[in-house]
Amino acid sequence: MGTEDLIPFLKKIELFKELSDSEMNLLIPFFRINTYKKGDWIIREGAIGEEIYFIKSGEAEVVKEEQDSDQAHRIAVLKPGEWTGEMSFFENLKRSASVRALETTEVVVMLLKELELSANHETIYFNIVHSLGKGISQRLRYTENSLILSLKEKIKLVQVQNEVSKTIVQIFIIVALYLNLSKFLSAYTQNPLFSLNIAFYPITVLILGASSLWLINSSRYPLSFYGLTLQNWFRNTLEAIPLTIPILILLVILKWILVTSIPLFNDTPIFEFRTLGQSTWNYAFFLIIDIALVPVQEITVRSFLQCSFRNFFQSPHRVFFAILASNMVFDILRTESDAIYALFSFLFGIFWGYMFEKQKSIVGTSVSHGLARIMAFFILRFDKMIMISQ
């Protein structure tokens, strides 16, 4: 780079914008032009230096080296038009960081100390120092804003971790309670499977739902964050019904396969409406109770677990992992009663998890889940087949 190229480059930099062309020509003797290859050190931490370095082309990184190791941490990346080195000049101290070329980099070095000692350039020197002071002030303001943003992110992460920690504690308590009580029922009741499915499971769902609502209400997020909103409820309901039809057909096909291929179920009809004790009132009662539990379960699995996991995970696939983790956690309870039922419940849960993420509401998933439960347990009677197979 010759003199004719140096002045246009410097005039683009904030420090020299107010200087005239004649003043810039007077400054030329105080500049040097150096070229560094990739990996070369432009400035070394701890060295004595009073020059300012302007990046003309290429890129360089500012790094802070650890005293007890060879590790270096990147602080910033300098691009063309940016400069470094002024702090060491003002403080009259050793360099506080190193600068290394990231690629072939052309650097304009300003000999600021020589300019300070030149009696013929006092006015120009003070103008440049004044501009440097403004530049340092702007950098400090930028650093302050960056620090505030960084602190906000850290506070947010701590809050998220706090929410998830409460979730994990709740999961352990409920799972331990469920497993221990189910073992108790198995040991001290004549019909443990009936007690587990008809009496204990609804109670567990209600406990889970109540504790989930309590934790949701105590969090710093609005209810809409957890999908607890009636916004677009009619559209979500209409959208959920046709999406659920393939699941209903799949359940019928599964029942047909079981009836035709397993001798134990050969005499079982495909459609077998649930009539407990041949009582219409019993049928209606258990149907209402079962359907009423669906949104409670969705609050636990979708609103609480899935949203908490999604907020905690940071990977690009966090939605998938949140859906997977929430369904796996809840499926632990299902596995206690029947592994095959737990498997299908898990697969359908993945579908409802994605529906929830799309609609951002538990209305559609509750409708879809409710239709599937009616088909599975009140029309196809899979619960009866599970009891027969035990």
| Tokens of residue 385, six digits | 């087949």
Nearest alpha carbon to residue 239 among 95, 361, 123: 361
Report d(CA 222, CA 258) in Å as an integer. 45
- Asked whether residue 83 falls in the same domain as residue 178, the answer is no
- Beginning with the edge strand found earlier in the chain, give each strand of the sheet holding 60-65 in spatial order: 41-43, 98-101, 60-65, 72-78
Q: What is the CATH number of the domain that holds 45?
A: 2.60.120.10
- Please write the tens of the pLDDT for every residue from 99-138: 999 999 999 888 888 877 776 777 777 877 777 777 666 6
Domain boundary among 117, 149, 181: 117
Domain boundary among 94, 117, 140: 117
Which residues are bridge partners to 385 per DSSP?
none
Q: Is residue 137 part of a domain?
A: no
Domain boundary among 90, 117, 144: 117
All residues at 6 or more sequence positions from 381 whose CB lies less than 8 Å from its CB, including other chains: 268, 272, 273, 274
- Asked whether residue 309 falls in the same domain as residue 177, the answer is yes
Q: What is the mean pLDDT of the chain?
A: 80
- Please write the tens of the pLDDT for every residue from 240-266: 999 999 999 999 999 899 888 888 888
Query: Residue 279 in 3-state DSSP?
Result: coil
Residue with tokens 């501009």: 131
What residues in the chain have per-residue pLDDT under 70? 1-4, 68-70, 91, 119, 135-148, 150, 157, 160, 163-164, 167, 170-171, 174-175, 177-179, 181-201, 274-283, 333-341, 386-390
Cα end-to-end span (Å), the chain: 87
Report d(CA 188, CA 185) in Å as an integer. 5
Write out the residue range of the structural domain in which residue 290 sits: 160-389
- Asked whether residue 174 falls in the same domain as residue 92, the answer is no
- Asked whether residue 106 falls in the same domain as residue 190, the answer is no
- Please write the tens of the pLDDT for every residue from 174-187: 667 666 766 666 66
Residue with tokens 């929410």: 163
**227 φψ region: left (φ > 0), alpha (ψ -120 to 50), beta (else):** left
- Asked whether residue 32 falls in the same domain as residue 84, the answer is yes
Q: Is residue 173 part of a domain?
A: yes
Q: Is residue 224 part of a domain?
A: yes
**Could you give the number of structural domains in the chain?**
2
- Asked whether residue 191 falls in the same domain as residue 266, the answer is yes
Q: Is residue 146 part of a domain?
A: no
Residue with tokens 């035709």: 260
